[in-house]
Structure 1
Amino acid sequence: MVKVVSFALISIAAAISTVAALDPVGQFKRLGACPTLGCVFPPDRAEFIAGAHFDVRVEVHAENDAKPNTNYSLTIQKVSKHAKALDFSKWSKVKPNAQESWDFTYNKDAAAYWKTMEGDKNAATPVHVASTAWRKVQIKEPGTYKVILKYNNGKTTEAIWTVNPVTKRKAKNVILFIGDGMTTAMITAARLISQPHISGKYQKHLNMDKFPVLGHIMTHSLDSLITDSANSASAYNTGHKSSAGALGVYPDSSKTPFDDPRQELIAELLRRRSKKNGGAGGVGIVTTAEVQDATPAAVYAHTRDRDQKSTIVDQMIHGANPVVADVILGGGGKYFHSKIGGKSLNGTDYYAAYSKERGYKVVNDRTQLLKYKGKDPLLGIFHSTNMDVWLDRNVYKNNLLLSASDPTGATEKPALDQPNLDEMVVKGLEVLDKRHRKEGWFMMAEAASVDKMMHPLDYDRALADLLELDKSIGKTKEWLKKNKLDKDTLILVTADHAHSFDVYGSVDTQYFNSFSDDSEGELEKKNSIGTYENSGWPSYVDANGDGFPDEWKVRYTLAAGTAAFPSHREDFQISINGTRVPAVYQSSSHHHYKVYEANPKDDPHGINKPGTMSVNEQVGVHSLQDVPIFASGPGSHLFAGIQDNTEIFHKIAEVLGLGEQA
């Protein structure tokens, strides 16, 4: 018996190894996860939870003047000793869509890309495509499967798919906190400016410091080193990697952003969970960004283009098997109406549509939010775009007057009554508990502007929003304990990707500001940066114990920066008049694409920092490093150690008992 089992395992391993092909090198590609002229989506090494719905697409490509051979086939077989390859349509019992064809172009390398950017219409390579799609496929039997596309008279593309079994449910509820762009270095810096310390030892810690389980997450995209928020958040919600800008799909090469092969989301699985596993559960979405922005939209949307925000609003209530979340709180009001500044789909009043068609209670300011005590689903939209950051909502309130941010579009007035993240989270929990205490629920809560402020190098605003996230975590734990849900709820705190931020010392800004702005003065200004033994403690103090520094304009600040930034000026001091704009468009450039240079109005008395990226980048970009994940509650042990971002979905699905097994 042992020999038979060993032989079977060896056979499976051999079958898998024959398929394996390392990711192709280079910066440009014809289509993500498709290194050959034959494409299979989901691609090699995709993982599924048993019973989850997903779409399949194959594409056959031909470049330049060649035409694709439309005579191709797709087979599937379970990797075992006696399994046979079967026609995919017959095996899946899903009728494919009619064969499609289209054309697209791509740049083979950097030389072709920049020639295209300069207007050379012949630099890009044309591609002709033949394609077939199968929609809403299910595999209910766990195991390993080999999928083979045969095309172009004998060529093959093979993929191994793994279907994971459904396990016993471990928790009733899951809260996924996301500090967008948050890294260990940022958490360290936030702790430094907010927590008291004596003899180099912290006397208090952040709320996330107290979690019993710590792990790290690898964040690579399907086809690139560096991820964006869309496909990284999509990995958390589907268990599949994707490409930049994609939500809940594998990007294909067709023109439309809404026909790409989909994967079923946690929220969709939770909504159709079987009665055997506890029945359909609740879904909550809380963010300080637009509710159509990448991270919140990854909970409920399917598109390869994260910028299709008007349609994303529609997908929540009108999409195929729409999520229709119980709680939706954040910004993005302009996509709900067609009034002043409105950009809603076809001019639709989505506030009315959500209310009349799906029974939502609609609130548009903090006062209305906190007064709501009902059980109806709750839609709270508090800003026309992204909500203002914590520092401007709570400290530099005059900055709120700088924009017409009324979420209803009824006036050109600013939104002055915006809730904080902890208030939105707790109110969301109240509604979810009233609607789904028996069945359980999933909430995603995002501190979006950790990322949105790191991009323009506004580190103070980013760290303040990280501290707001930490306060929200503390308030959440208090609420769960008070309502006797703490032992039934898994809490996760993580990021979707990283920024290359770090602290390398401290700065005496009084000494920094005492010198002139000429070249000799700039040299002396750099001497205000203390490193190693001269990296003394900064001046931030939290005397009132609210978790935030009492003063943000202090003498001794952090010497901080990132590895990826545009040309800019830096004075290491808070921008009290609003978010930084580090670089501006160079109108005198002879290039066909935009070129950015240091903004002379931003930190005008700072030191010059030449950019480290291509000149068409206006702000800093994401970085490679792993991000931390903190876990507490039932199933938290699953999240210890190093893991891929797709594993987060599978572990949440395991904890909630999602999926459907044969």
Structure 2
Amino acid sequence: MVKAFSFALLSLATAVSVVAAIDPIGQFKRLGACPDLGCVFPPDNAEFLAGSRFDVRVEVHAENDAKPNTNYKLTIEKLRGSHKDNTHGSKPKAIDFSKWSKVKPNAQEAWDFEYAKDATAYWKFKDGDKKAKTPVHVASTAWRQVQINEPGTYKVVLSYNNGKKTEAVWTVNASKRKAKNVILFIGDGMTTAMITAARLISKPHTSGKYTKHMHMDQFPVLGHVMTQSLDSLITDSANSASAYNTGHKSSAGALGVYPDSSASPYDDPKQELIAELLRRRNKKNGGKGGVGIVSTAEVQDATPAAVYAHTRNRDEKATIVDQMIHGAKPVVADVILGGGGKYFHSKTGGKSLNGTDYYAAYSKEHGYKIVHDRDALLKYKGKDPLLGIFHAGNMDVWMDRNVYKDNLKKSASDPTGTGLPALNQPNLDEMVVKGLEVLDKRYRKEGWFMMAEAASVDKMMHPLDYDRALADVLELDNTIGKTKAWLKRNKLDKDTLIIVTADHAHSFDVYGSVDTQYFNSFSDSEELEKKNSIGTYENSGWPSYVDANGDGFPDNWDGRYTLAAGTAVFPTHREDFQININGTRIPAVASTNSHHHYDANPADAPHGINKLATLSTNDNVGVHSLQDVPVFASGPGANLFAGIQDNTEIFHKIAEVLGLGN
């Protein structure tokens, strides 16, 4: 087991008196995971899969008028055990990193950057003081495509500035295949409280007991995942999804890399992805496997892009489209389904890289079948790789695709650049099942990996649109149920591990119910009376949601009794606890008095109550939270996911189950 192996290595590290450096305190830093003026990437406490490929970079910094000493060296030694390159008898011996790795480093580089040392400097710079930031001068060396094939614990030491040292201890894990296929479902931003609320509004209950449960409720294994970032308490979707795909923590906005301080967002030290490992898996473990990516977001958005892209900046979406088929060793997934059409063309609203027609490029260069609406998706029965792009940006949420359909007509969302709305978008379950059909036809013998994301749980929690967010939790749960049924029909259920989790949390919770009829009976000035409509404890009662047709979704979203729900972190806004039938909420708008501040949007819940911000005044939507997220598992290898685990461990457990190591 990966966890047992990791614990053994931790004990080994302790036995050889290796003490990890404590992360530096403070909100601002010179460079993430760089504890001193000498930086090593991957940093201390990193874990690797034996045989995986990764880049190494060192940086030496000097601040203000000082210059970095360019006479530095990097060494590596294996702690205990025998290894022909790093032992001398029974005593470990440090070896020059280039000699040991047999990788020639790139030519030494130099550049400058600047950073704010604290909040005072940050806000002074924001207000126009260009001298508030501290200049940094850098000397750097990079080694590309390094491999460590032998499991164990390794110490890497950067020696610089005449005697200073930065040490990093790396752990290398083995793997043994247990399953043919893995499906990783990600409810972006989904928490236990959201699942609880989704269950409440969708499942019948008698005498306080549910008579029917969600599909997630029925998984045999439940654990929790810690989500903190490499260098901050709160993670974003890019580096949290990257942790699932690489086994390494990173910084906000980064995909498959450790962010360095260079100007380019593409030269940062990379780590090999699950999809890349699966594409080159050795024959003894099954050979090359299939890859599927499904999302209700843009397929270049953080979570889906983490499956196939490498960049420090998640917003480089046009280049991310190119990386899928033109990267150094491109993933070229078998299935890509979701939104993001504007990055594939240069027509109306198009933003493709260099004006390239990527629909044509994907089709001509790699044989993709291209579809753009629900009917074409469901009609496809072929074996060719499938690219389905159904919206110019993020796909519309379940609520608007299925209940308030007139909202779809309000934007030029057609993925091909016609300027028309996209009125025939598929649901998540339809995309996932079709994707599984294609993967099964292409890789039934070898096996496959699919990542499927319910993206708008997060995208609706940000603007405090809780009804739409919970509807997307229910869409995910409905998709899980249909996926399990499809696997069973096709006799793949015993060969497939299903994992359901989230990449990060929001601080959402439910604390009662609201009588909206009573709430609406008072004038806008009678806010205290409006608040009396909130029932807590014995007066909380049951909400009005009913699922009479049994499809897993409430039949009515605008009943009298709704949920008293909210988050701990929000901008100044107005709240009426009722669904916005006209589309996604816009809780705050820019103040006319300051470029830093946002005020409550008067058009959002105009007859609601005022809620003053708990966030910085330059935030106009809610933000992520620190809380652990749940992980559910079913199928071969599911037992590995029980208990509390770091988000990087999800990668190592998937890698073990699929046999992606040596």
| TM-score between the two structures when normalised by the length of structure 1 | 0.97
Of residues 563, 566, 569, the one that matches 1:561 is 566
CA offset digits 1:598-619 (Å, max 9, x no partner): 0011000000000001110010
User: Aligned equivalents of 1:330 and 1:529: distance in 2?
Assistant: 39
CA offset digits 1:440-479 (Å, max 9, x no partner): 0000000000000000000000000110000000000000
SS at match of 1:135: strand
State the shift of 1:275 in Å.
1.0
Paired residues for 1:191-202 under 5 Å: 191-202=199-210
CA offset digits 1:42-61 (Å, max 9, x no partner): 00010001000000000000
Paired residues for 1:105-120 under 5 Å: 105-120=114-129
Verify: 1:414 aligned to 2:425, yes or no: no
Find the counterpart in structure 2 of residue 5 from structure 1.
Answer: none
Of residues 541, 544, 553, the one that matches 2:549 is 544
Paired residues for 1:409-488 under 5 Å: 409=417, 411-488=418-495
User: Aligned equivalents of 1:641 and 1:166: distance in 2?
Assistant: 20
Find the counterpart in structure 1 of residue 507 from structure 2.
Answer: 500
User: Aligned equivalents of 1:482 and 1:18: distance in 2?
Assistant: 52
User: Aligned equivalents of 1:594 and 1:482: distance in 2?
Assistant: 56
Paired residues for 1:121-520 under 5 Å: 121-167=130-176, 169-409=177-417, 411-518=418-525
State the shift of 1:21 in Å.
1.2
Range moving further from structure 2, 283-292 or 8-17: 8-17
Extract unaligned runs of 5+ from structure 2.
1-7, 81-89
User: Aligned equivalents of 2:297 and 2:17: distance in 1?
Assistant: 43
State the shift of 1:16 in Å.
5.8
Find the counterpart in structure 1 of residue 71 from structure 2.
Answer: 71
State the shift of 1:166 in Å.
2.5
Verify: 1:577 aligned to 2:582, yes or no: yes
Q: Which amino acid aligns with 2:432?
A: V
State the shift of 1:10 in Å.
11
SS at match of 1:289: strand
User: Aligned equivalents of 1:231 and 1:531: distance in 2?
Assistant: 38
Q: Which amino acid aligns with 1:374?
A: G
SS at match of 1:122: coil
Q: Percent identity?
A: 83
State the shift of 1:83 in Å.
1.8
User: Aligned equivalents of 2:630 and 2:501: distance in 1?
Assistant: 6
Confirm or deny: 8 A CA contact 2:9 2:171 kept in the other structure: no
Find the counterpart in structure 2 of residue 50 from structure 1.
Answer: 50
Confirm or deny: 8 A CA contact 2:78 2:92 kept in the other structure: yes
SS at match of 2:296: strand
State the shift of 1:640 in Å.
0.2
| TM-score between the two structures when normalised by the length of structure 2 | 0.97
Find the counterpart in structure 1 of residue 87 from structure 2.
Answer: none
Extract unaligned runs of 5+ from structure 1.
1-7
Deviating 4+ runs (over 2 angstroms):
8-19
Q: How many pairs were matched up? A: 646
Of residues 96, 109, 112, the one that matches 2:105 is 96
User: Aligned equivalents of 1:535 and 1:326: distance in 2?
Assistant: 49
User: Aligned equivalents of 1:604 and 1:119: distance in 2?
Assistant: 36
Question: Residues 439 and 641 from structure 1, CA distance in 2 versus in 1: closer, same or farther, beyond 3 angstroms?
Answer: same
SS at match of 2:75: strand
SS at match of 2:92: coil
Confirm or deny: 8 A CA contact 1:15 1:79 kept in the other structure: no
Q: Which amino acid aligns with 2:654?
A: I
State the shift of 1:9 in Å.
9.2
Q: Which amino acid aligns with 1:647?
A: E
SS at match of 1:548: coil
SS at match of 2:348: coil
User: Aligned equivalents of 1:9 and 1:570: distance in 2?
Assistant: 51
Range moving further from structure 2, 10-19 or 388-397: 10-19
Q: Which amino acid aligns with 1:252?
A: D
State the shift of 1:587 in Å.
2.1
State the shift of 1:347 in Å.
0.2
CA offset digits 1:263-289 (Å, max 9, x no partner): 000000000001111110000000000
User: Aligned equivalents of 1:451 and 1:82: distance in 2?
Assistant: 51
Aligned-pair RMSD on alpha carbons?
A: 1.1
Confirm or deny: 8 A CA contact 1:19 1:159 kept in the other structure: no
Find the counterpart in structure 1 of residue 625 from structure 2.
Answer: 623
User: Aligned equivalents of 1:297 and 1:217: distance in 2?
Assistant: 21
CA offset digits 1:56-101 (Å, max 9, x no partner): 0000000000000000000000011422000000000000000000
Confirm or deny: 8 A CA contact 1:19 1:158 kept in the other structure: no
Confirm or deny: 8 A CA contact 2:105 2:144 kept in the other structure: yes
